[in-house]
Amino acid sequence: MAETQRTREFRRLRTPRSAAVAGIVFAVLFATSLVLLRTALPADPFDETPWVGSGETRIKTALLLAPFAGIAFLWFIGVIRDRLGELEDRFFATVFLGSGLLFLAMGFASMGVAGGVLAIARHSGSSADEIVYFGREIMLQINHVYALRMAAVFMISLGTIWLRTGLMPRWLVVTTYLLALALLVIVDFSLWSTLAFPAWVLLISVYILVTGRRASADGNRSLRFAPASWRRSRR
């Protein structure tokens, strides 16, 4: 029995190919959640707040999609780290992981505030207008000031890693820097500023998915014409 345990072979864990789709799932779900949430909010905080009816339905849908978007974002971070492999630097990796997790935590906090405001507005009526306005401003501040800044730091650290390692093409690194600087400097409560980050994640994920399939096809092609002894050693 002990001999069997000693001779038992263990296999190295490998990132599933489907994990590269996580960034696309995050971009779609997160962007949809943002659009639903922002279209339910009034442009003027002192207008009549449409938390009931169609506004309530949109907010509930946004709150339902947000956790799945967060899970997909964690998978996206895992895909990026797997692509870096042993080239990962501890300093930039710390900034990269910390900013990504802070962005995710702030997004969840913002959605939690939205859910609380929805519950107050639904059960208290017009007597809680000031609380609704206060919750709305907290939600916008978290999303557009703090979460977007963490997204910008996430992009800058990742762009620097790509620039130094050469894992991504130069045009993609330049695009990452430009978008990150825009998110870092511009303070705007418009919907388009918040959609810039999921659009960037979508671009990166599509690139990784396409190049990963291409590299896998090239590897299978070279393996097909390799000697039989070498193919057996690769298994």
45, two tokens? 């905080």
What pLDDT sits at residue 46? 56
pLDDT at 6 over 90: no
Domain count of the fold of the chain: 1
Q: Has residue 9 been placed in a domain?
A: no
Q: Has residue 200 been placed in a domain?
A: no
Highest mean pLDDT among 129-143, 168-182, 206-220: 168-182
Q: Has residue 226 been placed in a domain?
A: no
Question: Would you call 93 exposed, middle or buried from its count of C-beta atoms within 10 A (0-12, 13-18, 19+)?
Answer: middle
Q: Has residue 1 been placed in a domain?
A: no
Helix runs in 85-190, H state only: 90-124, 129-141, 148-165, 170-185
Q: What share of the chain is helix, strand, coil (3-state, %, to 5)?
A: 85, 0, 15
Q: Has residue 86 been placed in a domain?
A: yes
Q: Has residue 88 been placed in a domain?
A: yes
Domain that holds residue 64: 19-194
Question: Would you call 103 exposed, middle or buried from its count of C-beta atoms within 10 A (0-12, 13-18, 19+)?
Answer: buried
Among the ranges given (94-98, 126-130, 143-147, 218-222), the one the predictor scored with the smallest mean pLDDT: 218-222
Given a contact cutoff of 8 angstroms between Cβ atoms, the answer to whether 133 and 45 are in contact is yes
Q: Has residue 105 been placed in a domain?
A: yes
Q: In sequence order, what are the residues at sequence separation of 6 or more whose Cβ sits closer than 8 angstroms to the Cβ of residue 182?
A: 196
Q: pLDDT tens digits, residue range 27-61?
A: 999 999 988 888 877 665 555 555 555 577 888 88
Q: Has residue 55 been placed in a domain?
A: yes
CA R_g for the chain: 22
Q: List the one residue out of 114, 141, 112 whose CA is nearest residue 39.
A: 114
d(CA 42, CA 48): 7
d(CA 6, CA 13): 20
Instruction: State phi, psi for 147 to the nearest 5 degrees.
Output: -65, -40
pTM of the entire structure? 0.76
Q: pLDDT tens digits, residue range 118-166?
A: 777 766 655 556 777 787 788 888 888 889 999 999 999 999 988 888 8
